[in-house]
């Protein structure tokens, strides 16, 4: 009997940590379904993604470990999707440890470790430090370096 795994996430600024968790989740079963949080649901959660929902779900759909990507529109959807898709394993990053233990009455709940050294939150923090003045300063610096390289060539 094929084993179906289900997970959810925003998958904003897709990075190697996202890929690693999807690969590990796929290894737990024969079929991986990924719920991608809509922009509206992210607003409810207090999140504002950089990449719009339609692009994020298209990125997730293109990952070879993912068999199906669906919109995640609310918290209650998890239990409904478990039943709808005949899910055997619910898996998610261990930053959510304990938050979905209640699903254990109908599926195996697995919390996977995060990839060290990378997170969307940290990427957003670093990017937020770049305002127009900093970008102009960086451009001038790169132009200066380019000029030095030309003169040394």
Residue corresponding to tokens 């990449």: 51
Active site residues: 45, 47
Can you give the three-state secondary structure of 26-55, one letter per residue? HCCCCEEEEEEECHHHHHHCCCCCCCCHHH
Is the sign of the CA dihedral 9, 15, 17, 21 positive or negative? positive
Distance CA 82, CA 65 (A): 19
């Amino acid at each position: 009997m094929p084993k179906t795994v289900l997970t959810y996430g925003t998958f904003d600024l897709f990075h190697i940590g996202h890929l690693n968790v999807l690969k590990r989740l796929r290894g737990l079963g024969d079929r991986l379904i990924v719920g991608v949080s809509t922009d509206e649901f992210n607003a409810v959660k207090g999140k504002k993604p950089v990449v719009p929902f339609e692009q994020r779900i298209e990125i997730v759909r293109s990952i070879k470990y993912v068999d199906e990507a669906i919109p995640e529109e609310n918290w209650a959807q998890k239990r409904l999707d478990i039943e709808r898709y005949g899910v055997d394993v619910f898996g998610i990053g261990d930053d959510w440890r304990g938050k979905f233990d209640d699903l254990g009455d109908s599926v195996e709940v697995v919390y996977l470790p995060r990839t060290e050294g990378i997170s969307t939150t940290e990427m957003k923090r670093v990017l937020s430090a770049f305002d127009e003045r900093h970008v102009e300063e960086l451009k001038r610096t790169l132009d200066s370096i380019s000029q030095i390289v030309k003169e040394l060539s």
